[in-house]
Structure 1
Amino acid sequence: MSTNGTVLTPTVLIIGAGPSGLRAAAELAPRVSGEVLVLEREGVAGGIPRHSDHPGYGIRDMGKFIDGPKYARILREQATAAGAKILTNATVTDWAGERSVNVTMPDGRVRVDAKVVILATGARERPRPARLIPGDRGKGIYTTGHLQNIVHLKHGKVGERAVIVGAELVSWSAAMSLKHVKCKTVLMTTEYPKADAYRLFSGPGKLFFGTKVATRTRVTRIIGKPNVQGVEIENIDTGQRRIVDCDTVILTGDWIPDNELARAAGVDIDPVSKSPVVDAALRTNKSGIFAIGNMLHPVDTADVAALDGAAVAEHVVNYLRGERPAGAPLSLTADAPFRWVAPALLRQHDPAPPRRRLLLWSDTYVPFPEVVLRQNGAVIARKRLWWPAAPGRVFRVPSSLLSQINWNDGAVTIGLAN
């Protein structure tokens, strides 16, 4: 039966059924009058975890240590048990109004008019063209998401020898998927002087997979067609190049938010992270439009994204009660070596951000960073942290640092002590 011409009118529309969207649905459905509707373009809700068939999920949000598919299933069950409605194979194509979207599904098009829209569309890895890697266009080049879709959802095969571009958390996830189909990871490459992943992962990972991590290196050419036969690796410091034989190349990390809908709505976008600009309550500059999860901090772990979903519920309920932010916000920007910070807007009477943390991305490794907050060029707060700022993973700073802000004294920056 065709649904063309149908108009759905939920109270809350959530676009994206990954961990953040599903957790937001589970929290909101019992608390709002009317329907909470979740739209997911894939055939099954759950996001990236549903095809990450290895443990490591649910630690911060569920107190569990489970595999990705089980984690995704629990999130789906919690959302539906709470009363949320999930529509899969539902692609939002464009906006039909301030909080209204057009949706294409297999049996036709519908319009959804909501009082609140939550953008939970996540992030994706940049493909080869966006990374400007030259060479042949042979078969056997994948992102992690593409690889895991083939291996864990379609039960397909790849090659026998792989080079993984990147050495962060998702890179080891790719290595586990490769091992599942008996493809040996012969090398990981990273431009940084240290492996990007937590030592808890990279240390045992090297032993378990028998994998070497080549630091301060990059792929300068992919060789082979119609199938990949190898890659050329360059040492960034010496310029020396060598050929590594492989039939599979996995492009990991280098994340970009799925921000197309946010842009189309006129939501302010951070020029560096390409994420929607939000305040601590996860509000965008468009009234009634919130943004959560890894589209704001590309990319953090799934459980942290899910906790964004838990945090946004209170703010959405307050919005539906008529509460609106008071006063003009101050901007918070990142100084080198930090690339971006979220949230990037600060309001005097806002609550603390999710998990009472500011989230940043660092371009250099700093073992015990002293973080400083500056306003009008003067240091107003500082804090020594006992965990490193490292490329390839989100750096978390206690938001208590913000308590020293003078709310009448202009923009604020966050960086490191000289």
Structure 2
Amino acid sequence: MTETIVTDVAIVGGGPAGIAAALALRGRGVQRVTILERETDVGGVPRHCGHPPFGLREFGRVLTGPAYAHRLAEAARRAGVEVRTGLSVTALRPGARLDAMCAAGPVEIVAGRVILATGARESSRAARLISGDRPVGVITTGTLQHEVHIEKMLPFRRPVIVGTELVSLSAVATCRKAGIRPVAVIEAADRPTARRPLDLFPRLLGIPMHYRATIAEIRGRGRVEAVAIRLADGSMRELSCDGVLLTGWFTPEAGLVRPSHLALDDGSGGPAIDQFGRCSDPAYFAAGNLLRPIETAGWSYREGARIGAMVADDLAGTLPPCVTTTTIVRGANVKLVVPQRLSASGHTGSLDSLQIRVEAATTGPLVARDGSQVLWRRNGRLLPERRILIPLSALQGPRAAGGTIIIEAAGSGSG
């Protein structure tokens, strides 16, 4: 028999963004707020990160990931949020209707509004097109942290780490705490992705760094025994190791959005939204790393709180209609833009900024233009996977319906 859950707002995903949205809704007086979480506990990715720093802005102190996740869960409980764990949403239907499954059987969720906050995931070996043998010991950071902090297991002792994003440093910290000694860190680009001085962390621990290097082949019978890496000059080098740790290359966890009626943005890989977080079906909103890969837990929390407040406004009838007046288009060297459209506004509670990522490192102007009219411009160095913000206030002048703003970063060189 199908269980039916009736709620004012259903939130799919119990990470920082989802919980913050729930707290904002309850703080605004929304009575029935339900978090739907497929795992056994809420808290999201921080549950698996057994190191600081989390929670300084939210709770006024530096916490480890599990402590931060616990505080989020307790805050939701105290606020009267209904939390359903072990429940997997399987389909998004028009008009805020959801299909789901739990251990007891099928579940139908009937909501006034839905907030999607399913987060992001790291790309797998298959997505990275890494060739070679298929031994045990090739995992992502998320799997490493789950095995070390939740399962209390060591998946390897001498891995090669691939990537230099912020999460790569989290992987190094996890290895260090668990007594795992990485053999090397390799990066395809000629510079680290993480900001300085954070990129110095592996060096301080004595881990060799190889830039402009890629894995050509994984070797091993049963378990990883070595990797062949291709260096900048085209030469090959073999590194003996017992594991490969794939870090970063995040993609939004958009498996529910992709087959649904909601519009998917091909730049971000997440749902297309307006400045209020509204999807193409105005009964659906989205927040957190589902919107773009990837931001910190703190950023996702603050974004979730903002989206939750806007959903409360929508339920109260004070949010402007979902009528697109301006479409945001990615121009030269722009990887993604969020939000992708602007609705008619006069409402002061929208997102503050257009979020940008560039494809390649460059030095020169980042420009927002409406035809030949330059609305906003900034010169400087732009690097991939770095947060770039354009204030929405610079883009929201009077404009005819159907207008287009192009964002382009047509600088020169490698930055």
Q: Could you say which TM-score interval applies, normalised by the shorter chain?
A: over 0.9
Alignment CA distance shift 1:164-1:301 (3 Å): same
* Residue 262 of structure 1: how far off its partner (Å): 1.7
Partner of 2:358: 362
**What SS does the aligned partner of 2:66 have?**
helix
Which residues in structure 2 correspond to 1:59-74 (within 5 Å)? 59-74=56-71
Which residues in structure 2 correspond to 1:9-408 (within 5 Å)? 9-95=6-92, 98-207=95-204, 209-235=205-231, 237-322=232-317, 323-325=319-321, 327-349=323-345, 356-366=352-362, 370-384=365-379, 389-403=382-396, 406-407=399-400
**What SS does the aligned partner of 1:414 have?**
strand
| Contact kept? 1:61, 1:304, Cα under 8 Å | no
Alignment CA distance shift 1:377-1:161 (3 Å): farther
Query: Root-mean-square deviation (CA), in Å?
Result: 2.1
| Contact kept? 1:219, 1:233, Cα under 8 Å | yes
TM, length-normalised to structure 2: 0.92
Alignment CA distance shift 1:356-1:384 (3 Å): farther
| Contact kept? 2:251, 2:269, Cα under 8 Å | yes
* Residue 77 of structure 1: how far off its partner (Å): 1.3
- 1:150-179 deviations in Å (ceiling 9; x for gaps): 000111012221111111100111111112
Report the AA paired with residue 308 of structure 1. Answer: E
Farther off after superposition, 329-338 or 38-47 = 329-338
Tell me how far apart the structure 1 counterparts of residues 293 and 405 of structure 2 sit (CA, whole Å): 22
Farther off after superposition, 144-153 or 190-199 = 190-199
**What SS does the aligned partner of 1:261 have?**
coil
Alignment CA distance shift 1:295-1:352 (3 Å): farther
Gaps of 5+ in 1: none
| Contact kept? 1:333, 1:340, Cα under 8 Å | no
Report the AA paired with residue 264 of structure 1. Answer: P
Report the AA paired with residue 369 of structure 2. Answer: R
Report the AA paired with residue 330 of structure 1. Answer: T
* Residue 376 of structure 1: how far off its partner (Å): 1.4
Tell me how far apart the structure 2 counterparts of residues 255 and 200 of structure 1 sit (CA, whole Å): 22
Gaps of 5+ in 2: none
| Contact kept? 2:14, 2:117, Cα under 8 Å | yes
- 1:278-317 deviations in Å (ceiling 9; x for gaps): 0110000102100110000211111111111110122111
Alignment CA distance shift 1:64-1:200 (3 Å): farther
| Contact kept? 1:140, 1:227, Cα under 8 Å | yes
**What SS does the aligned partner of 1:57 have?**
coil
- 1:26-70 deviations in Å (ceiling 9; x for gaps): 111242443100010001100000110111222444443321111
TM, length-normalised to structure 1: 0.92
Tell me how far apart the structure 2 counterparts of residues 184 and 291 of structure 1 sit (CA, whole Å): 39
Tell me how far apart the structure 1 counterparts of residues 386 and 148 of structure 2 sit (CA, whole Å): 25
Tell me how far apart the structure 2 counterparts of residues 55 and 271 of structure 1 sit (CA, whole Å): 34
Alignment CA distance shift 1:405-1:340 (3 Å): farther
**What SS does the aligned partner of 2:278 have?**
coil
Report the AA paired with residue 227 of structure 1. Answer: R
Alignment CA distance shift 1:116-1:82 (3 Å): same
Tell me how far apart the structure 1 counterparts of residues 373 and 209 of structure 2 sit (CA, whole Å): 41
| Contact kept? 2:320, 2:344, Cα under 8 Å | no
* Residue 404 of structure 1: how far off its partner (Å): 5.6
Farther off after superposition, 13-22 or 76-85 = 76-85
Report the AA paired with residue 370 of structure 1. Answer: P
| Contact kept? 1:53, 1:69, Cα under 8 Å | yes
- 1:104-146 deviations in Å (ceiling 9; x for gaps): 1122222110010000001111111111100000111101111
Report the AA paired with residue 89 of structure 2. Answer: V
Of residues 402, 410, 415, the one that matches 2:408 is 415
| Percent of residue pairs bearing the same amino acid type | 33
Tell me how far apart the structure 2 counterparts of residues 253 and 343 of structure 1 sit (CA, whole Å): 23
Tell me how far apart the structure 2 counterparts of residues 324 and 357 of structure 1 sit (CA, whole Å): 18
Alignment CA distance shift 1:107-1:409 (3 Å): closer
Q: How many matched pairs?
A: 410
Alignment CA distance shift 1:362-1:351 (3 Å): farther
Report the AA paired with residue 113 of structure 2. Answer: V
Farther off after superposition, 397-406 or 9-18 = 397-406
* Residue 213 of structure 1: how far off its partner (Å): 2.2
